[in-house]
Amino acid sequence: MSFLSRIFGHHHGHCGGAHSSEDLQKAGLTRKLAIVGNPNVGKSVMFNYLTGAYVTVSNYPGTTVEVARGRCDFGDISAEVIDTPGMYSLLPITEEERVARAILLNEQPDAVLHVIDAKNLERMLPFTFQLVEAGLPVLLALNIMDEAKRLGIQMDVSLLEQNLGIPAVGTVSTTGEGMNELKDRVGELMAAHIPSGE
């Protein structure tokens, strides 16, 4: 049994378990996944699905903006999961966007999960391009796929992945559809960013 599984116990289904950022680091949770996206794309539902009930919510230092943090296992990698405030761009206008940008730039996550509403792909992809151009390790979650299908929107996720050059997964965070694949892909992305020597 690994050191981490002894500390946190085994979790089935949802990942669950969270403490303060300092506790997570003491427990060896040095990996980070930041979840980003526009408001109302299901970002927080996805965060809750990954982290379960045990999360900490606190104001980002020096602001009144709340940031939720939890933990999740992605294969062999245990990571802190951060639900960043909603943002439309890396060029911040609101205090929420400034905080989200600060998390991305200062905390240097090992993976950035960009959650978008699959019904509004074209409107949301420019932000994906900004994240990729900033050199961040991005994975795209095409969320709310059930509603897109109901509207007759056909989506070739693998073709989109090839064209963007980043991993992409179709999900319905409210039902859990696609979430196992999402966790696998996040684990692969994080594994690719593990420094040699670990």
Flag whether 20 is in a domain.
yes
Of 189, 118, 113, 103, the closest CA to residue 151 belongs to 118
Flag whether 157 is in a domain.
yes
The CATH number that applies at residue 52 is: 3.40.50.300
- 3-class secondary structure per residue, the chain: CCHHHHHHCCCCCCCCCCCCHHHHHHCCCCEEEEEECCCCCCHHHHHHHHHCCCCEEEECCCCCCEEEEEEEEECCEEEEEEECCCCCCCCCCCHHHHHHHHHHHHCCCCEEEEEEEHHHHHHHHHHHHHHHHCCCCEEEEEECHHHHHHCCCCCCHHHHHHHHCCCEEECECCCCECHHHHHHHHHHHHHHCCCCCC
Q: Residue 121's Cα: distance from chain center in Å? A: 18
What is the pTM for the complete model shown?
0.84
Q: Measuring CA to CA, how many Å separate 19 from each of 119, 145, 192? A: 35, 32, 26
Flag whether 150 is in a domain.
yes
Domain total for the chain? 1
The amino acid present at 73, given as its one-letter code, is D
In which domain, by residue range, is 186 found?
3-192
Flag whether 197 is in a domain.
no
Flag whether 129 is in a domain.
yes
Flag whether 198 is in a domain.
no
Question: Over its length of 198 residues, how does the chain's per-residue pLDDT go in tens digits?
Answer: 332 232 223 333 445 444 444 554 445 567 999 999 999 999 999 999 999 878 999 999 999 999 999 999 998 899 999 999 999 999 999 999 999 999 999 999 999 999 999 999 999 999 999 999 999 999 999 999 999 999 999 889 999 999 999 999 999 999 999 999 999 999 999 998 765 444
